[in-house]
Structure 1
Amino acid sequence: MPNLLLFNKPFDVLCQFTDDLGRPTLADYIKQPGFYAAGRLDRDSEGLLLLTDNGRLQQRIADPKFKLLKTYLVQVEGDIDAAAIQKLTQGVILKDGLTRPAQATKIIQPNWLWPRTPPIRERKTIPTSWIELKIREGKNRQVRRMTAAVGFPTLRLIRSEIGEFKLGALQPGESQRLSTNLLK
């Protein structure tokens, strides 16, 4: 049975095992040989990343045609309003086309969330707010581009779920190994 690693990718870590510039990579955290990332998170994003030791499973998780639902917690600049949430749920026009409709809900900041290092920039005159955004596609920097397109730039982005897999209590840099029958 294929193995999976659920990994809480810290901010400023690359989703690769090597870097010619000496920046932090997965190799600084993942010590089990033979595991490869199934999908990506940008360097400035945090949260759940799945790694596997099985090529077919890696393709199944990363391939948009399998449409695994991905859940993000997003801190945005400004007090996001119902009109912006509605636009996100209908799909947003980006330079590379219309996004699929998302599930979007304004939420309060999760109390279990770890502090980010370094902290996000804070402006005394501009509030921030949080949304939970669920999408089934993965265009380059899609969530950030979607929130910017509706007038609320992303300040912090944390992926909390991919399909049935949840970040749970994993802290930044921690991983959990498990077996899966996702290929059935």
Structure 2
Amino acid sequence: MKEKEIQENMNKSIEATQRNFNTIRTGRANASLLDRVSVEYYGAETPIKSLATISTVDSQTISIQPFDISCLQAIEKSISMSDLGITPNNDGKVIRINVPPLTEERRKEFCKLASKYAEEGKVALRNIRRDAVDKEKKDEKDGLISIDESRDNQSEIQKITDKYIALIETKLSEKEKEILKV
């Protein structure tokens, strides 16, 4: 694998981890909270953002206005059934979600969830590293590159991996600070 290709794959892993972090509640209203919630709509699981306009009215309220009023009940049910711990209010046209402040216990749960997402991101990075190192070893075995060249490439791959793992750690600490901020 080329260095550029490795970095592209690792960037994708970082982006996926960041998307996971964005779905964690922090006590403030954020439209990305609903990214993981999908609705049973005409027999298919459909993301809420495909069915409605999601906006934040203020720091504590999310507003969901469906394109098709008939799916209002289904959206409300999906939000209620989700693991977000929030209750939607339906006024017949718009669903409003009041995002309550997080309890200390809930904050700790979300920190654990963030750590889990960070670990998943690190595992993905390590898998990319493993694949790249295996390719280097294979090239060395096939005689395409020398042993020294292979070792240099492997150490370079490790440096890249370490850099990206540190980036995930930084993003995790930022997210934890955001979650724990009262």
Greater relative contact order (CA < 8 Å, ≥ 6 in sequence): 1
Indicate the structure with greater helix content: 2
Indicate the structure with greater strand content: 1
TM-score, structure 2 normalization: 0.22
TM-score, structure 1 normalization: 0.22
Which of these two proteins has the greater Rg computed from alpha carbons?
2
